[in-house]
Amino acid sequence: MRLMIAQTHTALPFEKMHGLGNDFVVIDARDRDVALSDALIRAIAHRQFGVGFDQLAVISKGRHDAHLTFYNADGSQSAACGNATRCIARKLMDETGLTSLRLTTERGLLLARDAGNGLTSVNMGPPQLEWHEVPLAEPMDTLALPIDGAPTATGMGNPHCTFFVEDAEAVDLESFGAVHEHHPLYPQRTNVQVAHVVGPDHLRMRVWERGVGITLASGSSSCATAVAAARRGLTGHKVRIDLDGGTLWINWAEDGVWMTGPTMTVFSGSFSRGFLESV
């Protein structure tokens, strides 16, 4: 399917948002038919010839308040994107005056709420801790994988591989992340995190996202790292995580993993017919 821009003679509106520098292009398809080709997604993602983003999100009508679909910068689809979910939840709460929402994604039903003081919380659901849920290529203990550094595997609707190191800032994440994203134990590739303990219930983390590369923050990665740290006895179930772009607060509760942090809508615009037809 392709965007029917030539027939409608209209441009395509969008909004640019970010959560701690983890940036998104958001397209509202609740009142229009929008179908995106892989080539168009990659063109929009280009930071010189397009707009640039870590993920692209499409809002559509759903059984509840809205349905969200996520794409990585390389055009591949992602079942979950925590920071984008928080950004869109804030947009919808501002539009409707609601203080809580129910949003559906490929991950399932996600609850969002206004956390006060300009912060937005999203419940990313229970973590997936069994090898086939992550998924991994073969049965094994997800707490310590047979990879140098014994990382922990966690599923949050997308796969994660978390390394606990002495100093996350000393890791050459450009090469480290690229290698481990494609590790054969992860048939769907993986997001890669490196983290170290700063203090009680306080972590410093850096992120390599599959299909994207280094990002300033990642909501699902933060959730996965908090779960991994708690499972390994490094922290409790409530943690502060400092990322390159700022701070998120994660609470692994009985009803799922809650993520809380700030959001920002940067600008709105429209893709021109010329741009859309050039792809």
Question: Residues 162-172: what's their mean pLDDT?
Answer: 98
Domains and CATH numbers, the chain: 5-124+263-278 (3.10.310.10), 152-254 (3.10.310.10)
pLDDT tens digits for range 29-80: 999 888 799 999 999 999 999 999 999 999 999 899 999 999 999 999 988 8
Q: Collect all residues with Cβ–Cβ distance below 8 Å to 235 and sequence separation of at least 6.
A: 197, 200, 201, 202, 203, 226, 229
User: Is the confidence at residue 4, as pLDDT, over 60?
Assistant: no
User: H or E stretch including 232?
Assistant: none
pLDDT tens digits for range 121-158: 999 999 999 999 999 999 999 999 999 999 999 999 99
Residue holding tokens 């958001």? 26
Backbone phi, then psi, for 244, in 5-degree steps?
-60, -30
pLDDT tens digits for range 75-103: 999 888 999 999 999 999 999 999 999 99
Give the Cβ contact number of residue 214 at 10 Å: 15
Long-range contacts of 188-191 (CB under 8 A, 24+ apart): 188/135, 188/159, 189/159, 190/153, 190/159, 190/160, 190/161, 191/158, 191/159, 191/160, 191/161, 191/218, 191/220, 191/221, 191/224
Question: Residues 242-263: what's their mean pLDDT?
Answer: 98
Specify the pLDDT at position 263: 97
Specify the pLDDT at position 11: 82
Specify the pLDDT at position 7: 37
Residue 123 CA to residue 259 CA, distance in Å, equals 6
Q: At what angle do helices 219-231 and 82-96 cross, to 10 degrees?
A: 120
Specify the pLDDT at position 206: 98
Q: Collect all residues with Cβ–Cβ distance below 8 Å to 196 and sequence separation of at least 6.
A: 164, 165, 166, 167, 168, 203, 204
User: Is the confidence at residue 259, as pLDDT, over 80?
Assistant: yes
Strands 202-209 and 238-243, by their bridges, are parallel
Q: What percent of the chain has pLDDT over 90?
A: 90
User: Is the confidence at residue 6, as pLDDT, over 50?
Assistant: no
Specify the pLDDT at position 10: 64
275 confidence band (pLDDT: 50, 70, 90): very high
Give how far Cα 143 sits from Cα of 58, 147, 203, Å.
34, 11, 18
User: Is the confidence at residue 3, as pLDDT, over 60?
Assistant: no
Specify the pLDDT at position 1: 31
